Each structure stands twice: as structure tokens, then as C-alpha cells.
A and B are shown apart, each in its own frame.
Chain A
């Protein structure tokens, strides 16, 4: 099958190289700046049109989701929400074709922001304790979490890169393992109390610590830090060995700091998805209820 596709391309004639050549001449452009902010302009245009329409069109008896203009905005909003939620599928379905996930992300961000305008105008500013307002609030929450995501994506990657120092995650753990093996050998001459501190440090899972520790990067129960502190307090029978162990513990703490740094930044980059995605599903459910109830009680 692949060779058939190859043959097809081979027969496509002139032009197939120019497409490749264009790609080879590309540059790093962020999803926000994609195609000179194409989707920002489209979103702004859409919002502006919605606002102008809202201001100019005389809606009787008052602006409302049930007027013809309200229905129009509602339909646009619903279509947008459904399409936006399909990003999760697009990301995972690597089908052939000239699509780019970056373009999708760009459109997702700007059209998602435009929903604030479209959704709000659709309500006609009629807020109450009902399923309609629930859908509206859920939408705003999804957008708010999305805004956090955009900020995280735009600002955190340099920190992630700097923290990595050309190491892969596996290499970071390997480096920790290597330090641990040295620590184990170096701690043999130590006394009972000191050895216990080292054993506790070695025994602690490098991933220990709850979500809070992960997000803040603070690990108050870090056994390595405690061992370093403890080593200062306990007088040692073999000062030379204690000094070697201290140096190794210091190295271990630095290595842990790198691993925890990576965990922290990645957690900050991902945490919002744990809000954004479930709320999107809740929003879709609320929307379904909203649409059905509107038509049922027409």
C-alpha cells in the first residue's frame, strides 16, 4: 500500500518537490503567531460581527436566546464547542493529509476565546439558577482553564528546557541511581545513626510527595535533605567517610532537585487539562440538556 502511494507521488510530476522545498525552508513559528495571527483575526471578526449584530438588530421583546438572533448565536456557539472539543481526537488520530496540529491549536485558542463574546450575547444577559446558566458557567470555566493553559504553554517551555540541561528523563533517574550506588558503598564505614539517615534517604521513592509537593516543588519530608541536616548534628567516628557521604548526599539533593524541577514544570503544563477536559465533557452534557429542554418547552 505504501509503495502504491509512493508510486502515485512519483507520477504526480513537477510540483511535488516544490512542496517539499517549502517545508524545508520553514521556520519555527509558535501556534499563537501561526500564519500571522490568522485565527486571531478571524475570531476578532466573528466577535465584532456578533456585537454589531446584537447592537443593531431590534430584538423583541428583549434580547434573548430564544429570538431568531439568539438562535443564530446559539447555533454558532454550539457548533464551535463541538468542533473545539474534537481537538482531542485530532491530536491522537495521525491520519495522512495536509493538516497541522499547530493550526488546529491556534484556531482552538482564538475561536475558544471568541466564544466568550458569542456565548454571552446568546444569553442576552439573562442569568438565573437553571440548566441554561449552568451550561454558560461551565463554558466560562472551560475557557478560563484554557487561558491558563495558553499562558503555561507560552511561558513555561524555556524553563523546562533549561532544567533539562540536555538530559533525558531516563538519564536523570540513571544519574540518581549511580549516585545511590556510590552512596551505598561510601556509607559502609558510618556509624548506626548516620547509616540510618543514609538508608532512609536511599529508601525514599524519588517520586514520593503529593500533588501539592509536585506543583510547588517543595518537599518538606525529603529524606535526603534530612540526612544532610542530621549528618551535621551527629558527631562521626570516621570524619573522612562522613565527608564523602556528605558530598554524595549533596550531589543527590541536586539531582533530586533537577528531577523535581522537571516534574513541577510538567505538572504545571498538564494540571489544567485535568480541569479543562472533564469540564468540557460536563459542558457537552449540560449543552445537550440545554438544547433539549429549550426545544421541549418551546
Chain B
């Protein structure tokens, strides 16, 4: 029986194990592979591992600073007294610890062996593909825990630390015969196999690379087939797909489309294909069908998550204890993906288990600094409690959550009259008023008309939800303390505290209604509508209103955007583009007619559905509002009528407009805020835009002019569109991706070069590269031919110049920052000699005049 069992030997796990060893606590470190820190072990050779955040103190017995993968693993192996021939031995003095490591120890299940804990029942909700839900209940048992390994061994421990990260386990095949020994989920060395019939399952990058590797050398005489469930390759890189198709055409391997495994037996495999079942020779099956997040396993251990959200984390106490007493969760699985955080938590959790509950977290100085400049002398704890108690949406948080929350948030003090943010300023953060109150200038023409928001409430939620610019200027009405919650912290908060999510939603609906027709409405006016409103999510392309239908509801676009289409002459004609914040569907409600056009989502969107009768009742009460609505309606009718009239006389122009607009929407312009468009009837292909980009940004171009789609000479090059809800922000460990003061999405210098953003960007606009040394000046180049000249230097030059300066810098993610902070605006546009390149916003550009105007 151990005092503590640590599962997973990543940074969190080894830090905990080393501290347990240092304290002389009885412990075991369980690792499923044959080496430490599998995730870092699998990094490519020589990868530079970064140590952010720089201001966080490292509190661990294990050493860590930024450096090469080999150096870091070498030191850790020495410190844990582990020998591994695949990792270069670190020479030099290190402090090492008698850590009890058990390799090849994959954990299958953890269960309590004590008495049942009364009232402690874990509910596990699983959702099937068809949307049905089933609930499984597990009675929790008290410690000690029996940890069952896949090899049948059982390890007993009083406490368990789960530090398994988020990598998960590979998905397994589920057909009969899937457990046969010739079915494998990994391929280490493709040259190992000769004269075999090999089936690779799955056409993601891993599957494609494996299949190509096995078929690469004809001397191996392997017969390789790769199975694709459909006919497309949605999860693989374009280059991989092209290479695979070329190999298929050259007869090196076979791609079997629309094929799934039905059964596996020694020497044979049965496939279900479009043309029925096929049984073919098969000596080896390599399944590369993705990996399952570890959530199911964690839940089976009796650990509850904060919500059903895919991104949710386990519920934890301030000492990292989960809902299963004695099981602690730390590291990436607990929501801390950075190495330093992980190592600190490993140390802290052992201290907690050892009874030291007074330990202050290592991030104490970072949080203390955030409160330093504020009036009123309060300790960090008092400040956290002050915010938690006063801001209503924070009420449901525990102290650990408050701390984590504060790391991504700021507290600010404003004197009466100071501007907190301006109308049209970009911003996606949410504000909570901890003391004082603010005034919203609802009418841009007359700043004296204001609406107050008081202590405890929030503002800025529209920017958070829609991703668009601020709708009004907000000033402090008196001396006010606000907490500015970053977009990320706000998203986390909503997934952790369902009540907060509900409150934000409620307030945002009310405010959106109030803003809909300008000023003049009061919360009492819209209260019945708010109560009846429903938020609905719409897939890209989903129809919200169908032309000719008789429904009467009115909609407000909460996030995303919509396109309006009408059938004219048997074909859908694009009428207009509606960005978030617009409303639609009011015509049918007001005049009782059938829907005159179809409205569908341009991208994944959210709409607020308001019942038509409620909307009419509001109009009846407020004649001014009715007038405004009628005016808006008349303007929309005029646009539609204009395009319809053109259809008769200029049918081809309308078709071109409609098709070009559809092309732009298909290419993601619907979620863009600022996009580079090149008119190829003007573009002479000089690439001065790319050179200007490189010369304005550290010598690397963030734009690929030639790549990208083209329709009717309108070209969308590979360059950032600064999406309303940037995909790249989804999974950035150091939160280095932010929205800047000009609305640009940019990556700051804390980037650790992990490449997540590059993978998450659907438009391929992020590149990973090392910042090159400075080039000789333009004059030196012009007069003496020194250096590579204007634009991005060729790779060979950059490499050589970097070597001359010493080592090459670490690769980091780089992308367009809209030339923020550079006077004059985007360099690509300024440097275009013919006027082919412009950067525009979609709601301004997707209009009939702009899309049909000729350029000469």
C-alpha cells in the first residue's frame, strides 16, 4: 500500500513524484510507455521547448528551463534516475531523487475499496450519435484505491494523483477480431515489414503517412491498402492527400473508398463497401482512427466534470482534489497546459497530501500585482472575495477557480467620467462592476443620453458573444472598480458556472433588444419579449426562414452572420449579407404576408428567436419604434426591388453578383472582420505585397498571394481574415493569441511554438518559422548588392545568417496582424502598384454595387 500513486509521468507527474521522494513519502509513479514524458518524448528531434509564462516562479524539485527537447528529457531522466538509450545522457551535476517508477503500467480502472460513501453517487451521461442520452450511476467508495493495470496487476494507494494529460488513448476497432494480435494501433518503423498484405484503416495524416511509408520501397514487396470511410479526406493535410493519390495512381498502393471493416480473422479481412462485402487477404491491420479524450476513463473513476461541454474540466477543490475523495487531478487534464504550471502543481499537490494546507500557490505574486494599483488596502484573498461577492456572475465560483480566473483577467479603477471603452472599438472582453456604476452612451449623436448600469452587473457582453466592435461608449458614472474578464476567462467561466452562463445570456438578450431600434426603450418594455425569447444555434447553411413560409417570428443574429436569398427566375439570387447584431423576419410579422426571401446561416451562428406577436405588441406600445421599423423595412424592400429589377435587364450581372457573393461566403468571408481581396484583372503578379509584408514584419511574409481560391477574377489569398471568433484562439496553451486595439488578431511573444493554432486555422494562414536576422539595408543592396534584397530572404540565406549569429531562433507561430501600430495601415495594400489589393470588411463589400462594378 502506497501513500500516493501518481499516474502519468509528464511534467506534472514527475514533479509530484520527485517531491514525494524528497519528502520520503511512499509513492509509485505509473507510466504506460517505456519512457518518461511521452508527449514531450514524441516531439520532433531538436524541438525547442519554451518556458512560459516568464513571470511565473518555478516551484519544483525538478529543473526546467526553455531549451531543446533532448536536454530537458536528459536532465529529467537523470533526476529520476532513469536510463533511456533513446535520450542523450545529460552530463553535469543534477540533484536526483529515489523515485519509484513503474513503466509499462497502463491504468485500466481505479476504484475505491473502502465503504460506500453515503450520498456520493457519480452520474455519467453518455450521448449516442443519434442524440439520445443514457445515464449511468456509480456509487463512490472511500479510499484506499485499487488501481488496476491492463496487465492484470493491481496497485493499492491511499491517494491517487491523475496527471495523464489530454493526449488520450488511440481509438480501437470495434469489429469482430479487433483484438487479434496482428491488429495494431501504431507503426514505429515501416521498413520492418516485408512481403505482407497490410491494411491501413483511416485516412488522417497518421494513416496516410503509415500507408505511404509501407509502400515506399517496392523491394519490401508489401501489398498496401488504405481504407477511407467516405470519398473525401477531411482530416488530412492537402500535401499528404495529393501524395497518397499519386501513389494510388502509380499503383504503389490501393485506396479503397467507402469501405469499412466488418470482420478481421487471421490472414483475411472482410470489408463492407458500396458494392457489398469483400473479403481480401490481410496479414496486418494498422488502425489510425484518432484518439479518444480521456474523459470517459476519468469519469469512471468517480470524477465529476463541471459541465457536459467538450472543453469542460474536472470539478476540483482548492487543493486539486476531485469529487472522488483522495483522487487529485493536476496538469493539462485539470486545465493547465503549460509545463511550468504542471510542475508547480505536482509540487503543491504533494504538499497538500502531506498536510500543508497553508501553502500559497506559486502564482501569488502575479495575482497580487494585479491588485497593486487599486484604492483600498486589501490582501489578495480579500480582493478575490470582494470581486466574487460583488459581481453577480462570479458568485458561484470557489477560491481556486477565482485564482485561475484572475490570471486571465484584470481589475481596473476608473474615476468618474473616464471612458472605459469607446463605441466601435474592437474588444471581446466582458466587464463586471465590483463597485460604483457606469453610464452607457446609447445615442452616438448625443452623448448626454445615457443608460446606467449598476454594481454587480456586467457590460461588454455583446462584444464577447458576437465578436464584433463595441456598440456604445461607456464611461464610469462615479469612481468605479471593474473586473475586465478576457474572452478566454469568460468562456471558461460560462462552462464552469452554468448560472453565470444563464445570466450573461439573459442580459445580452435584453441589451440586444434595447439596442435593436436605438434608444427609447426601457427594460420593462422588452421584459415580456426577453422572457419569451429563445437562443437557437444554426449550422452553416441552415435555413432559418424559408421563402414563402407562413411563420411570423422575428430573429436577431447573436453571433455569426446570415445571407438573404430569393428565388428569381428559378435560381437563388443573393440579396444581402447580415452581420451579427442585425435583425430579420420583421416584414412578415408587421404586414402579415408570407416570407419574401430565404435567410440562412453563412457560418455557424446563433440567433435569438422572438415570437411575432410579442414583437407586434411591443410595436403597438411604441409608435416611434414602429416608424423606425417601417423605415428599415422600406430600405430593405428597395434593395431587394433594385436587384430584382436588374435581374430583368442585366440578368448576367445579377448572376455574377450572386455567384461571387456565394463564393466569398463559401470561402469563410462570413466570419471575417477584415479580409484581403485581390482583383486579378489588376494584379500583375509582382508579389510586392508579399515583399512589403516581409519587410514590415521581421523579414517573414504572412501572406501567400498566389495560394487561395479565385472566382470571376476575385482572389482570396492565403492571409488572415481576423475572424469574429478566431479558430486559432481555441487551443493556445500560453494564451498568446489576442485581439488587439485595431481589431487585429495577433500572436504575442509568449508563443511557445506548439503549432495548435496552425492546425486549428481552417484557412491555413499561420506559419511556423524562426525570426531571421536583420538584412543589410536597402541602400547597401542597391549599390553594392549586399544581402538578399527586399522581401523575405530565401530559406538558405536565413539559415546561414542565423548560424553566423549563433543558433537559429526557435520557431514560433506568425500571422498577419493587420500592420497594427504601423502608421498608414496594411503594407500589402499600400505596396500594391496597380490597386489590385484591398482589405475590406465583408458587410461593406458584399453589396451589389461593389461586386458588379467593373474595374479598368
A residues sitting closer than 8 Å to B (CB atoms) are: 2-3, 5-6, 9-10, 14, 16-17, 19-21, 23-34, 89, 91-94, 96-102, 104-105, 153-154, 156-158, 160-161, 164, 166, 168-169, 174, 178, 181-182, 185, 266, 269
Contact = CB atoms under 8 A, between A and B. Distances in A.
Name the 7 nearest CB pairs between A and B, nearest first: A161-B680, A168-B706, A24-B841, A6-B821, A28-B679, A96-B823, A5-B821
A32 B856 contact: yes
Given A25-B840, A30-B856, A94-B695, A102 B681 contact: no
Interface string B369-393: 0000000000000000000000000
A97 B823 contact: yes
Given A17-B425, A101-B832, A153-B834, A27 B821 contact: no
B778 A93 contact: yes
Contacts of B682: 28, 30-31, 157
A102 B242 CA distance: 38
5 contacts: A25-B841, A31-B834, A93-B778, A102-B832, A174-B242
B466 interface: no
Contact of B740 (A6, A31, A102, A156): A6
A6 B741 contact: yes
B710 A30 contact: no
Interface in B459-481: 469
B63 interface: no
Nearest to B790: A92
Given A9-B742, A98-B823, A185 B683 contact: no
A204 B183 CA distance: 47
Contact of B834 (A2, A14, A21, A30): A30
B833 interface: yes
B824 A101 contact: no
A269 B680 contact: no
A102 B826 CA distance: 14
Interface of B: 242, 246, 249-251, 422, 424-425, 469, 674, 677, 679-685, 688, 691-692, 695-696, 704, 706-710, 713, 715, 740-743, 778, 782, 789-790, 820-827, 829-836, 838-841, 844, 850, 853, 855-856
Contacts of B425: 17
A105 B833 contact: yes
Contacts of A6: 740-741, 820-821
Given A24-B674, A96-B822, A269-B684, 15 more contacts: A6-B741, A21-B424, A23-B840, A28-B679, A31-B833, A34-B835, A91-B688, A91-B831, A98-B823, A100-B829, A104-B833, A153-B834, A157-B684, A182-B249, A185-B250
Contacts of B829: 23, 100
Given A2-B821, A166-B710, A160 B835 contact: no
A161 B841 CA distance: 24
A25 B840 CA distance: 6
B607 to A, nearest CB: 25
A101 B825 contact: no
A266 B242 CA distance: 27
Nearest to A6: B821
B688 A101 contact: yes
Contacts of A3: 821
B722 to A, nearest CB: 11
Contact of B742 (A20, A25, A34, A154): A20
Given A24-B674, A28-B679, A30-B835, A100 B830 contact: yes
Contacts of B830: 94, 99-101
A168 B708 CA distance: 9
Residue from B250, B707, B830 whose CB has the most chain A CB atoms within 10 Å = B830
Given A5-B823, A30-B835, A101-B688, A20 B680 contact: no
Contacts of A23: 825-826, 829, 838-840
A154 B850 CA distance: 20
A157 B708 CA distance: 17
A269 B833 CA distance: 13
Nearest to A16: B742
B835 A31 contact: yes
Nearest to B710: A166
A20 B835 contact: no
Contacts of A168: 704, 706-707
Nearest to A27: B850
Contacts, number: 159
Contact of A94 (B696, B821, B833): B696
Given A20-B743, A29-B855, A91-B833, A97 B824 contact: yes
B823 A161 contact: no
Nearest to A262: B685
Contacts of B251: 185
A202 B823 CA distance: 51
A169 B715 contact: no
Given A28-B836, A266-B685, A157 B674 contact: no
A181 B683 contact: no
A161 B710 contact: yes
Contacts of B688: 91, 101
A126 B708 CA distance: 56
A84 B831 CA distance: 17
Nearest to A105: B833
A42 B29 CA distance: 81
Nearest to B840: A24
A249 B133 CA distance: 58
A174 B361 CA distance: 55
The CB with the most chain B CB atoms within 10 A, among A2, A157, A174, A266, is that of: A157
A86 to B, nearest CB: 12
B681 A101 contact: no
A185 B249 CA distance: 10
A255 to B, nearest CB: 14
A96 B743 CA distance: 19
A277 B153 CA distance: 81
A98 B824 contact: yes
A182 B246 contact: yes
A160 B684 contact: yes
B838 A153 contact: no
B739 to A, nearest CB: 13
B713 A158 contact: yes
A160 B683 contact: yes
A174 B834 CA distance: 30
Contact of B710 (A25, A98, A164): A164
Contacts of A93: 778
A99 B820 CA distance: 16
A26 B840 contact: yes
Nearest to B712: A161
B833 A26 contact: no
A169 B706 contact: yes
Nearest to B694: A94
A181 B830 CA distance: 43
B767 to A, nearest CB: 15
A102 B850 contact: no
A102 B833 contact: yes
Contacts of A181: 246, 250
Contacts of B713: 158, 161
Contacts of B715: 161
Nearest to A104: B833
A225 B841 CA distance: 48
Contacts of B789: 92
A69 B706 CA distance: 51
Contacts of B853: 27-28
Given A94-B692, A161-B713, A29 B835 contact: yes
Which of B692, B834, B840, B844 has the most chain A CB atoms inside 10 A of its CB? B834
A111 to B, nearest CB: 15
B246 A178 contact: yes
B670 to A, nearest CB: 15
Contacts of A14: 422
